[in-house]
Amino acid sequence: MLELGRLEDLPQDYRDALSAQNLVPLWPSLRAVLPPGQPRPNTRATAWSYQGLRPLLLQAGELTPIEKAERRVLVLANPGHGLEKMQASAAIYLGMQLLLPGEWAPSHRHTPNAVRMIVEGEGAYTTVDGEKCPMSRGDLILTPTGLWHEHGHDGSEPVVWLDVLDLPLVHYMEASYHIDGSRQTVQPGRGDRVHAHGGLLPTPMFEGARKAYPMLRYPWVEARAALLALAEDQPALDAVQLRYSNPATGGDALNILGFYALMLRPGQTLQLPARSPASVFHVIEGGLQAQIGDQAFALAEADTCCAPGYTPITLRNASPDAAAFVFIADESPLHRKLGVYETR
Ligand code: 1HN
Each residue's pLDDT expressed in tens, for the chain with a length of 344 residues: 678 999 999 999 999 999 999 999 999 999 999 999 999 999 999 999 999 999 999 999 999 999 999 999 999 999 999 999 999 999 999 999 999 999 999 999 999 999 999 999 999 999 999 999 999 999 999 999 999 999 999 999 999 999 999 999 999 999 999 999 999 999 998 999 999 988 998 887 666 667 899 999 999 999 999 999 999 999 999 999 999 999 999 999 999 999 999 999 999 999 999 999 999 999 999 999 999 999 999 999 999 999 999 999 999 999 999 999 999 999 999 999 999 999 99
Output the pTM of the full model.
0.97
Three-class SS of 279-314: EEEEEEECCEEEEECCEEEEECCCCEEEECCCCCEE
336 touches ligand 1 (CB under 6 Å): no
Among protein residues, the one with the nearest Cα to ligand 1's atom 6 is 71
Domains annotated on the chain, with CATH: 46-338 (2.60.120.10)
87-139 residue pLDDT tens: 999 999 999 999 999 999 999 999 999 999 999 999 999 999 999 999 999 99
Angle at alpha carbon of residue 238, lines to 230 and 280, rounded to 5°? 95
Distance CA 85, CA 93 (A): 10
Of 86, 148, 165, best ligand 1 pocket probe by most atoms within 8 Å of the beta carbon: 165
> 110 has which bridge partners?
178
Amino acid sitting at position 184 = Q
User: With contact defined as beta carbons under 8 Å apart, do 328 and 264 qualify?
Assistant: no
- Residue 331 CA to ligand 1 center (angstroms) comes to 19
Task: Output the pLDDT for position 205.
Answer: 66
- Quick check: 176 and 286 in contact, CB under 8 A? no
Query: Quick one: pLDDT at residue 210?
Result: 77
Q: How many Å lie between the centroid of ligand 1 and the Cα of residue 71?
A: 6
Q: Is the CB of 168 under 6 A from ligand 1?
A: no
Whether ligand 1 lies within 6 angstroms of the CB of 149 is answered as yes
pLDDT score recorded for residue 206: 66
How far apart CA 224 and CA 227 sit, in angstroms, is: 5
State the pLDDT at residue 37: 96
Closest residue to atom 9 of ligand 1, CA basis: 167
Ligand 1 atom closest to 143 (CA) = 4
Residue 94 CA: distances (Å) to CA of 18, 87, 89, 249 = 40, 7, 9, 27
CA 191 to chain centre: 21
> 87 CA to middle of ligand 1, Å?
13
